[in-house]
Amino acid sequence: LDDDGEERQEKNQTRSGCFIVLWKANCEYLQQYYNLEKEPFGRMKRSGPAFTSKVKDMQIFFGLNATGVLDSDTLEVMGSPRCGVPDVEEYSHIQGTRWNKNVITYSIGRYTRDLPRSTVDSLVESAFSVWARASSLTFVRSHTRNADIMVEFVTYEHGDLYPFDGPGGTLAHAFGPGLGAGGDTHFDDNEHWTAGETGFNLFVVAAHEFGHALGLKHSRNPDSLMYPTYRSSRPANLLSREDAANINALYTRGRPNHLPRYNWSSQNNPWICAPDLTFDAVSTLGDATFFFRERYLWIKHNEQYDIKEGPISNFMPKIETRIDAAFWVPRRSTAYLIHAMFWTVKGSLVKGKPRALSHFGFPVWVQDVDAAVHIVKTGRTLFFMHDIYWSYNENRRVMDFGFPKYISEDFPGVNTTINAAVHKEGFIYFFVGPQVYKYDYSQKLVVGVEKANSWLGC
């Protein structure tokens, strides 16, 4: 060959090499997202009926002309950053339809270095709130690895058979509800995660992935949050009507008594803001506070103003009674709910059957308690009944010696029956009728009095 011939051959080889790389990427796209089966020995014919059929499936999904040919519009979509969950088939080997509860726990494992941890925490919480505001769901952060949804930033092969591909391409993926890896949500830490317009907005991607973690599939509607490809510009309200309808259809099935979530205020809910409102039990549970009255429950997320409410059994189906006392032990990520006996609760999942109060070391004549509160600093849970109280050592799991004692002697200023108690930010709050006493445990002094209804934003 002359020089010109050698140059042409070199260019043709280069084009051929680029074509092979591009072709391989397109095949992998269809294999990952449209279930294109690999041919024996990894071969694939771009003109074969199987390949053409999958290209058409992809084009139909994205509203393109269904030609079966890799035209420029099709290649542009294939090259767009997107979610790693398939469009036509979920991660079926562990995919469930929905969580069998409405209070779902989450935990953040490995963080990205792109953002401060506090920013990641806030964006993840906000992404869950997108779904919480539109549904009956409550999300409670846990600091253990036993949470329903584990959130992690990882790269390439990370132990779940769905490796990431480096910058661009697949941004994140999530598994549908279920045991084991069910619900777990992974973000590719080779991407540049941000809280703004540059890079990839973590809030937007996380909200999409949490939709999968709750059981939703991809949508063909470009206005839906569950549309597969990433778009940096989003409306203020991320969820489309379709998204809101789908999440409610999924989590109100079989629950005819389900009550939707509202943003309560004294104007639109005068009953909850009645000046004589009282509670039977109050307890923190992760990042939320639970308020019990008769067989009803309100759940308020800390630092948020919206409240979920409904019958206790809507959130904890095994509990059909009122709750008289409740407390939360953070190091176990466990709540204990008491009515003659006690239930052990993680998230909204009731563990086992109710057990007798004698488990805590109470004498047989104690049939119920009025209030309970756990003090993290001392490792003690205090149980109140009429005018006396007990101190239970959570580390040794025994009652402290010398109890019961009189409440009025050890808690000056609190000389009446306590309806509920909760420990927050170094203070014990005693709910006594419609009033709440803010009690400084170290100084043994009531330092403030407020209305019970103020805890629900009234």
Summarised one tens digit per residue, pLDDT across range 177-226 is 988 888 999 999 999 999 888 899 999 999 999 999 999 999 888 889 99
- The pLDDT of residue 14: 35
423 labeled binding residue: no
Do 39 and 125 share a domain, yes or no? no
pLDDT score of 9 more than 50: no
Report pLDDT for 185.
96
Instruction: Compute CA distances 158 → 66, 117, 148, 153, 163, whole Å.
Output: 36, 21, 19, 10, 6
Q: How many CB atoms lie within 10 A of CB 279?
A: 26
- 166 marked as binding residue: yes
For all residues of the chain together, what is the average pLDDT?
82
CATH code of the domain in which 424 resides: 2.110.10.10
* 212 is an annotated ligand-binding site residue: yes
CB 134 within 8 A of CB 239: yes
For residues 289 and 151, state if they share a domain.
no
User: Scanning the structure block, which residue is given the tokens 């790389």?
Assistant: 21
Query: Residue 88 falls within a domain, yes or no?
Result: no
Task: Find the CATH number of the domain harbouring 39.
Answer: 1.10.101.10
- Is 324 part of any known ligand binding site? yes
CA angle 117, 119, 123 (to 5 degrees): 120
Strand order of the β-sheet with 420-424 is 420-424, 427-432, 435-440, 445-451
**In this structure, are residues 294 and 337 in contact, taking their beta carbons and an 8 Å threshold?**
no
Q: In angstroms, how far apart are the furthest CA atoms of the chain?
A: 106
Reported in sequence order, the residue ranges of 34-154 that DSSP labels E, i.e. its strands, are 82-83, 103-108, 138-141, 149-154
Q: Report whether 73 belongs to an annotated binding site.
A: no
Both structure tokens of 124: 């993840």
Given pLDDT bands bounded at 50, 70 and 90, which one contains residue 375?
very high
Is residue 205 in some structural domain?
Answer: yes
CATH number at residue 170: 3.40.390.10
pLDDT of 233 strictly over 50: yes
171: enclosing H helix or E strand: strand 170-174
Residue 453 pLDDT:
85
> Does residue 171 share a domain with residue 63?
no
Last residue of a domain, one of 79, 114, 133: 79
76 is catalytic: no
Binning pLDDT at 50, 70 and 90, where does residue 285 land?
Answer: confident
Please tell me whether residues 40 and 133 are part of one structural domain.
no
Q: What percent of the chain has pLDDT over 70?
A: 84
Beta strand ranges found along 281-348 (DSSP E)? 281-285, 288-293, 296-301, 307-311, 325-329, 334-339, 341-346
pLDDT tens digits, 388-400: 999 999 988 999 9
Q: How far is CA 374 from CA 277, 344, 396, 434, in A?
A: 24, 14, 14, 22
Candidate from 41-45, 72-76, 373-377 with smallest mean pLDDT: 41-45
Do 359 and 432 lie in a common domain?
A: yes
Q: What is the pLDDT of residues 46-64, one digit of tens each?
A: 556 778 888 888 888 888 8
Nearest-CA neighbor of 432 among 458, 457, 407, 410? 407
- Where a domain ends, among 79, 113, 138? 79
Run of H or E residues at 186: strand 185-188
Residue 260 domain flag: no
CA–CA distance, 28 with 191 (Å, rounded to integer): 20
Is 114 annotated to bind a ligand? Reply is yes
Look at the chain and report how many structural domains it folds into.
3
400 is in an annotated binding site: no
Hey, what are 8's tokens?
Answer: 């042409």
Q: Are residues 310 and 451 both part of a single domain? A: yes
pTM of the full structure: 0.58
- 324 pLDDT higher than 90: yes
Tokens 């990641």 belong to residue:
120
Which amino acid, residue 244?
Answer: A
Please choose, from the candidates 86, 24, 59, the residue with its C-alpha nearest in 3D space to the C-alpha of residue 226: 86
347 falls within a domain = yes
307 and 437 fall within a common domain: yes
| Residue 204 to residue 171: CA distance in whole angstroms | 11
How are strands ordered across the β-sheet holding 334-339? 325-329, 334-339, 341-346, 349-356
Domain span at residue 436 reads 281-456
CA gap 452, 292 in Å, rounded: 12
Q: Find the catalytic residue in 125, 209, 309, 394.
A: 209
Find out whether 37 is annotated in a ligand binding site: no
219 and 342, same structural domain? Answer: no
Confidence band of 149 (pLDDT split at 50, 70, 90): very high
Q: Is 326 annotated as a binding residue?
A: yes
Cα 86 to Cα 130: distance, rounded to the nearest angstrom: 23
**Beta pairing partners, 161:** none
- Residue 208 and residue 305 share a domain: no
Residue 258, marked binder: no
Q: Per the domain annotation, does 93 fall within a domain? A: no
Q: Given a cut of 50, is residue 255 above it in pLDDT?
A: no
Would you state the pLDDT for residue 296? 87
Q: CB 2: neighbour CB atoms within 10 A?
A: 7
Are 216 and 356 in the same domain? no
Whether residue 400 is contained in a domain is answered as yes
State whether 203 and 134 are in the same domain. Answer: yes
10-33 in b/e burial notation, b at 16+ Cβ within 10 A? Answer: eeeeeeeeeeeeeeeebbbbbebb
Mark whether 133 and 182 lie in a shared domain: yes
In degrees, rounded to 5, the angle at the alpha carbon of residue 105 between the alpha carbons of residues 199 and 358 is: 160
Residue 262 lies in a domain: no
Boundary residue ending a domain (45, 79, 113): 79
Residue 188 marked as a ligand binder? yes
Question: ∠ at Cα 310 (306, 313), nearest 5°?
Answer: 135
Is 273 labelled as part of a ligand binding site? no
Confirm whether 269 is domain-assigned. no
Task: Confirm or deny that 218 is annotated as ligand binding.
Answer: yes
Distance CA 155, CA 132 (A): 29
